[in-house]
Amino acid sequence: MDKQLIKNFIINSLQEDVGDGDHTSLATIPAGTTGKAHLLVKDEGILAGVELALEIFNTVDPELKVTTYLKDGDAVKLKDVVLVVEGSVHSILIAERLVLNCMQRMSGIATVTRQIVDMLAGTNTKVLDTRKTTPGLRYLEKWAVRIGGGVNHRFGLYDMILIKDNHVDYSGGVRQAIENALQYTATHKKLAIEIEVRNLDELEQVLQTGGVDRILLDNFKFDDLRQAVAIINSRYITEASGGITINNVRDYAACGVDYISMGALTHSVKSLDLSLKAISK
């Protein structure tokens, strides 16, 4: 966990939600009221965001006492109790929505990722996330992918060179794009280089040029994908993307690629249903 990044995220998120005060709680609940609440599961899936929830509760009020019964990565079912929080009711209610929003989103991502990982069992293919994330939530969403058993691709534009179709077209072709990238990494910042190819002709140009670390085979039909993997013959790491879903991911893996990248892990998942409920005295 990147403690400073998480701290900044929590502070900014609380400011967005609380503003100058939780006036509903201030208006209805006497100051100093204490109580307990438990975080309940109302769905089935993979739990994610427990560590983050602890940071949120502590940031809102270090005096809150939290007892956890489940951890990140656990399989959960209806009526499971994730944690119990005890202390100032005002503090519990301030933390409630941020905890739930984050955990529901992260658990949904972890659940889908685990489904994909299970479907890839027995193959040599791993599933990657993408940059198709919610602005401001990328760290959390990629964290959830790891909890679900997936692998993080590059975090952003700064930690890898990924030459995609627009880069190829704007730079004047596959060879020129690779040569430009190699010159850049030699004089500016040493980074791994991946290049996307759209067909077997572009693949051949990459192989003739060399110098890359990974080849992304985008929107290839199965026959072409199998042929491409055979042509590459383990000389480069291979990745498939484009139109890959839970229904066909196993078929893509059967083509022999090292990685499959799926934007759907983060851009279109259903949140896991969780709730924080007061425990009656």
Residue 71 is among the residues annotated as catalytic for this protein: no
Q: Find the angle CA(249)-CA(255)-CA(258) to the nearest 5 degrees.
A: 80
Pair of tokens at residue 188: 């500016």
Residue 97 is among the residues annotated as catalytic for this protein: yes
Residue 132 is among the residues annotated as catalytic for this protein: yes
d(CA 120, CA 100): 30
Question: Given 55, 141, 202, 218, which residue is catalytic?
Answer: 218
CB atoms within 10 A of CB 69: 13
Going by C-alpha positions, the residue among 201, 181, 202, 184 that lies closest to residue 193 is 181
Question: Given 55, 96, 194, 196, which residue is catalytic?
Answer: 196
- Exposed e or buried b per residue across 214-240, where buried means at least 16 C-beta atoms within 10 angstroms of its C-beta: bbbbbebeeeebeebbeebeeebbbbb
| Residues 95 and 58: beta-carbon distance below 8 Å | no
Question: Given 36, 42, 131, 132, which residue is catalytic?
Answer: 132
Q: Which residues contact 184 (CB under 8 A, 6 or more apart)?
A: 161
Which DSSP letter does residue 257 get? -
Question: Given 36, 97, 198, 226, which residue is catalytic?
Answer: 97
Residue 218 is among the residues annotated as catalytic for this protein: yes
Question: Given 164, 175, 198, 226, which residue is catalytic?
Answer: 164
d(CA 170, CA 163): 11
Residue 270 is among the residues annotated as catalytic for this protein: no
Q: Is 60 exposed, middle or buried (0-12, 13-18, 19+ CB in 10 A)?
A: buried
Question: What amino acid positions are annotated as catalytic residues?
Answer: 97, 132, 164, 196, 218
